[in-house]
């Protein structure tokens, strides 16, 4: 095998696939990145059996072939190469791969390419397309709300449902719920799946192309893949039933608040210096017209109190939350001003962006004394 | 006690003194930052008995007094305050310190101020002054060459010697030696001391004032202090005799090399991806006229080979080094082109900046086969 390609493009492709290498691979070959030539491309693969990533880049193929290189080395070596182009070669029957760029030459011991479990694209019977910007938005507004605890698998993923022109992604850890729904131009049939948070996070990182492009999604009963012209990512799906949440979305609110997102975020950041000390990470809020009073208390450290301006409609309200559940959602919102709806101090609150109902976040208060 | 001061100035002062707090303080009070008012200043102190730092800043004193606050909290709290000004107050007989800025108020449990071992400025009989830029240069060109091993204390510090108009700082770990010497305008008498690397590193970080200022140095038989109008830093001195090194500086060189510093640094960075795997971290260099060939080898990983242009006078030479000993010194040098002098492959090499002899670095080669 002998190829030449752009150093920058090879680094990008290596960065994408290397995210599928487990920190403790099940077998030595899974610590490697498999490379093979196609007609005028170099294809890179890595897998930990749960996630499987493929990335392709243009390459001049002088001799077709394949090789597997240790994943943690190859990205560092390529990124430190002096030239703009880099060439990789492995003569038939040899073990040392030669990597050359400008006047620098590395010879690295390769792994046995034939041992690498090549990724088989999943052959599902469900196919649909989503625009990359839309998919990124669906992920970024929901994936942070997933649970990290494996004990209840359905909460470690995001529920994706498509019904004709309506697409919705939902995530929850049972204490907070994040819902993003929007319209799509082309009807894509009916879909209901739960996708692991892990692949969605990695996917969101790669969806940063300047040129808008459609993502082709394929599902089999227990797997999903996301495909662009350059990359392919597949994962198992999470089995189970995502809970119905329609009945927990309050139909109306007694108190409506409008507040500048950045002001609230900074104030929460401040008072959380005290609340993070305790186990429950509690911030207390007191909403009145014109003002939100935020406070946190820890008997061994002290108190924090802060006030920020806000607009209020309805009765005043004392309420307390896990401060992280508020900080997380404010980071994922985009509008300058956000809306918050409340009923009672023990009822869930709802956060939304100022001018759209597409995104909705429900958070359960913490019971405390005021 | 009640004072008001600039948030930014207080953060800067806290950042400086907090470096004297040990990661595992000997007693709880040493995890605190002591504060006291002077006529129109706030003075901050922290110590781990080995290092003692004081920093002062302008403040409006409404009620004089003193307090001690937990070091790891107070910097975070102050830096997250919303306003430009911050006020601190501790009513007599109370335990909660109130920190206020704009609409934010923190009340933090204070420590017992009287328990803090207030820093006594050392009363030495040796005093001299050095310009801050000169002192920073002396430190930055030498301190990296110190040893980290406590088994031979004199090598964990830098030797500072002043003889009339000549000032010299030297550091070594016995495998490499860094010497910076220069002339000063005013004679400062004769001084020979060994200063711990720790305080020199911290001192170099604080010597970044835009306005040139003199540093007053005071020595007692076993302590040293560095003083500017705003800060005071003291440390024990290292006892012992710094070894004489005049006889290891080669009087002449068989081979002279000139090479671009940045090119050599990048190439070493590259080949060190291989050399760092082995225990000895070895890079081999082959100097010929017009070219330096760099290589590294590890039987379990592979080889790296690289070439960079260089000017050579004298016989060609194969020589090998611990790659870190070269990378370190290149970072501390300033000139675009550097000079290297060699004699034989088992003799120390000398690195210098292009146009000055003030700085000199001697590095012992590694014995290897070529």
Contact A273 B77 (CB under 8 A): yes
pLDDT of residue B136: 95
Mutate to test the interface with A, among B306, B309, B327 (most CBs of A within 10 A): B306
CA-to-CA distance for B347 and B253, rounded, in angstroms?
Answer: 10
Parallel, antiparallel or unpaired: strands B157-163 and B190-196 = antiparallel
Residue of B nearest to A74 (CA): B273
pLDDT of residue B32: 97
CA-to-CA distance for B26 and B252, rounded, in angstroms?
Answer: 51
Q: Write out chain A residues lying below 8 Å of B106, CB-based.
A: 273-274, 302-305
* Average pLDDT value for residue range B243-256: 92
Residue of B nearest to A264 (CA): B82
**Contacting residues for B65 by C-beta, under 8 A, at least 6 apart:** B1, B2, B36, B37, B90, B92
CA-to-CA distance for A340 and A350, rounded, in angstroms?
Answer: 6
Q: For the range B275-278, what are the long-range contacts, defined as Cβ-Cβ under 8 Å and sequence gap of 24 or more? A: B275/B304, B275/B323, B276/B323, B277/B301
> What backbone phi and psi angles, to 5 degrees, belong to B147?
-90, 150
Q: Which two tokens stand for residue A338?
A: 């956000």
**pLDDT band at residue B278 under the 50/70/90 scheme:** confident
CA-to-CA distance for B170 and B326, rounded, in angstroms?
Answer: 17
**B267 reaches A (C-beta below 8 A):** yes
CB pairs under 8 A between A and B: 89
pLDDT of A370 over the 80 cut: no
pLDDT of residue B62: 97
Q: Which two tokens stand for residue B254?
A: 């068989």
DSSP string computed for B194-236:
EEEHHHHHHHHHH---SS--EEEEEE-SSEEEEE-SSEEEEEE
pLDDT of residue A128: 92
pLDDT of residue B276: 82
Could you say which of B106, B267, B270 has the minimum Cβ distance to residue A304? B106
Dihedral (CA of B18, B19, B20, B26) sign: positive
Phi-psi region of A164 (alpha: psi -120 to 50; beta: other; left: phi over 0): left
Contact B109 A73 (CB under 8 A): no
DSSP string computed for B125-180:
SEEEEEEHHHHHHHHHTTGGGS---TTSGGGGEEEEEEETTEEEEEEE-SSEEEEE
Mutate to test the interface with B, among A69, A95, A104 (most CBs of B within 10 A): A104
**B204 reaches A (C-beta below 8 A):** no
Residue-wise pLDDT tens digits, B54-113: 999 999 999 999 999 999 889 999 999 999 999 999 999 999 999 999 999 999 999 999
| Structure letter (DSSP) for residue B80 | T
* Average pLDDT value for residue range A84-90: 98
Q: Give the residue carrying structure tokens 């309050």.
A: A250
pLDDT of residue A176: 97
pLDDT of residue A109: 94
**pLDDT band at residue B280 under the 50/70/90 scheme:** confident
- Which residues 303-322 of A are in CB contact (within 8 Å) with B? 303-308
Three-class DSSP category at A251: coil
* Average pLDDT value for residue range A19-29: 94
pLDDT of residue A243: 92
Contact A270 B103 (CB under 8 A): no
CA-to-CA distance for A105 and A346, rounded, in angstroms?
Answer: 66
Q: Give the residue carrying structure tokens 């046995």.
A: A112
pLDDT of residue A187: 78
**A80 reaches B (C-beta below 8 A):** yes
Mutate to test the interface with B, among A110, A302, A303 (most CBs of B within 10 A): A302
Could you say which of B73, B80, B306 has the minimum Cβ distance to residue A301? B73
Q: How far is the alpha carbon of A170 from chain B, nearest alpha carbon, in Å?
A: 33
Q: Are A22 and A51 in contact (CB under 8 A)?
A: no
Mean of the per-residue pLDDT values for chain A?
95
Closest CA to A176 of A292, A296, A355, A332: A332
**Contacting residues for A94 by C-beta, under 8 A, at least 6 apart:** none
**A163 reaches B (C-beta below 8 A):** no
3-state helix, strand, coil in chain B (%, to 5): 20, 45, 35
Q: How far is CA A274 from the centre of its chain?
A: 29
Mutate to test the interface with A, among B270, B286, B299 (most CBs of A within 10 A): B270
Closest CA to B157 of B195, B187, B112: B195
pLDDT of A299 over the 80 cut: yes
Residue-wise pLDDT tens digits, A328-367: 999 999 999 999 999 999 999 999 999 999 999 999 999 9
The partner residues of A361 in beta bridges, in order of sequence, read A178, A351
Q: Are B105 and A304 in contact (CB under 8 A)?
A: yes
pLDDT of residue A139: 98
Could you say which of B105, B273, B305 has the minimum Cβ distance to residue A80? B273
Residue-wise pLDDT tens digits, A96-108: 999 999 999 999 9
pLDDT of residue A348: 96
Residue of B nearest to A277 (CA): B73
pLDDT of residue A210: 80
Could you say which of A73, A80, A300 has the minimum Cβ distance to residue B301? A73
Closest CA to A43 of A75, A74, A5: A5
Residue-wise pLDDT tens digits, B140-192: 999 999 999 989 999 999 999 999 899 999 999 999 999 999 999 887 778 99
Q: Write out chain B residues lying below 8 Å of A97, CB-based.
A: 302
Contact A305 B106 (CB under 8 A): yes
pLDDT of residue A197: 97
CA-to-CA distance for B201 and B135, rounded, in angstroms?
Answer: 11
**pLDDT band at residue B246 under the 50/70/90 scheme:** confident
What would the 3-class secondary structure string for A148-192 be?
A: CCCCCHHHHEEEEEEECCEEEEEEECCCEEEEEEEECCCCCCEEE
Q: Are B35 and B67 in contact (CB under 8 A)?
A: yes
Q: Distance of CA A119 to CAs A16, A44, A51, A67, A266, Å?
A: 15, 10, 10, 14, 45
Q: Which two tokens stand for residue A208?
A: 């940063």
**B95 reaches A (C-beta below 8 A):** no
Residue of A nearest to B298 (CA): A108
Could you say which of A80, A274, A300 has the minimum Cβ distance to residue B270? A80
**B62 reaches A (C-beta below 8 A):** no
Q: How far is CA A70 from the centre of its chain?
A: 26
pLDDT of A277 over the 80 cut: no
Could you say which of A80, A81, A108 has the minimum Cβ distance to residue B302? A108
DSSP string computed for A205-249:
HH---SS--EEEEEE-SSEEEEE-SSEEEEEEPPPS-PPP-GGGS
Residue-wise pLDDT tens digits, B305-361: 999 999 999 999 999 999 999 999 999 999 999 999 999 999 999 999 999 999 999
Q: For the range A273-278, what are the long-range contacts, defined as Cβ-Cβ under 8 Å and sequence gap of 24 or more? A: A273/A304, A273/B73, A273/B76, A273/B77, A273/B80, A273/B106, A274/A298, A274/A301, A274/A302, A274/A303, A274/A304, A274/B106, A275/A304, A275/A323, A276/A323, A277/A301
Q: Which two tokens stand for residue A53?
A: 């990533």
Q: Are B99 and B108 in contact (CB under 8 A)?
A: yes
Lowest average pLDDT, out of A44-48, A115-119, B187-191, goes to B187-191
CA-to-CA distance for A76 and A70, rounded, in angstroms?
Answer: 11
Q: How far is CA A223 from the centre of its chain?
A: 18
Q: Are A82 and B309 in contact (CB under 8 A)?
A: no
> What backbone phi and psi angles, to 5 degrees, belong to A61?
-95, 110
**pLDDT band at residue B203 under the 50/70/90 scheme:** very high
DSSP string computed for A47-107:
E-SSEEEEEEEE-EEEE--EEEEEHHHHHHHHHT-SSSEEEEE--TT--EEEEEETTEEEE
CA-to-CA distance for B30 and B118, rounded, in angstroms?
Answer: 11
Q: Write out chain B residues lying below 8 Å of A81, CB-based.
A: 270
pLDDT of A208 over the 90 cut: no
Q: How far is the alpha carbon of B294 from chain A, nearest alpha carbon, in Å?
A: 9
Q: Write out chain B residues lying below 8 Å of A300, CB-based.
A: 109
Mutate to test the interface with B, among A90, A270, A290 (most CBs of B within 10 A): A270
Instruction: Please state, for a pLDDT cut of 70, what percent of chain A lies above it.
Output: 100
**B86 reaches A (C-beta below 8 A):** no
Contact A273 B80 (CB under 8 A): yes
Q: Which two tokens stand for residue B346?
A: 């088992």
CA-to-CA distance for B179 and A235, rounded, in angstroms?
Answer: 58
């Amino acid at each position: 095998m002998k190829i030449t390609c752009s150093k920058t493009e090879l680094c990008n492709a290596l960065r994408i696939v290397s995210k599928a290498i487990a920190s403790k691979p099940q077998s030595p070959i899974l610590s490697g990145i498999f490379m093979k030539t196609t007609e005028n491309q170099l294809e890179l693969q890595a897998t930990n059996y749960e996630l499987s990533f493929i990335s392709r880049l243009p390459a001049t193929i002088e001799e077709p072939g394949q090789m597997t290189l240790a994943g943690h080395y190859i990205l560092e070596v390529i990124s430190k190469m002096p030239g703009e182009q880099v060439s990789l070669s492995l003569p038939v029957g040899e073990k040392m791969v030669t990597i050359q760029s400008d006047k620098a030459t590395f010879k690295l011991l390769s792994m046995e390419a034939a041992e690498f479990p090549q990724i088989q694209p999943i052959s599902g019977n469900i196919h649909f397309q989503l625009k990359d910007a839309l998919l990124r938005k669906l992920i970024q507004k929901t994936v942070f709300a997933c649970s990290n605890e494996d004990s209840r698998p359905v909460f470690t993923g995001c529920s994706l449902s498509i019904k004709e022109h309506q697409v919705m992604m939902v995530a929850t850890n049972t204490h907070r719920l994040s819902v993003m729904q929007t319209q799509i131009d082309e009807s894509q049939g009916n879909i209901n799946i739960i996708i692991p948070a892990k692949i969605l996070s990695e996917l969101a990182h790669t969806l940063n192309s300047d040129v808008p492009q459609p993502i082709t999604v394929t599902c089999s009963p227990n797997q999903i893949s996301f495909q662009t012209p350059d990359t392919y990512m597949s994962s198992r799906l999470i089995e189970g039933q995502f809970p119905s949440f329609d009945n927990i979305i309050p139909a109306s609110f007694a108190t409506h608040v409008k507040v500048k997102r950045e002001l609230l975020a900074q104030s929460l950041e401040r008072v959380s210096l005290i609340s993070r000390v305790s186990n429950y990470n509690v911030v207390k809020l007191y909403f009145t017209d014109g003002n939100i009073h935020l406070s946190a208390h820890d008997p061994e450290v002290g108190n924090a109190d802060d006030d920020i301006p806000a607009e209020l409609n309805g009765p005043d309200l004392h309420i307390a939350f896990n401060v992280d559940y508020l900080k997380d959602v404010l980071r994922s919102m985009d509008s300058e001003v956000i809306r918050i709806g409340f009923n009672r101090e023990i009822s869930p609150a709802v956060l939304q962006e100022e001018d759209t109902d597409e995104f909705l976040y429900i958070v359960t208060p913490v019971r405390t004394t005021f």
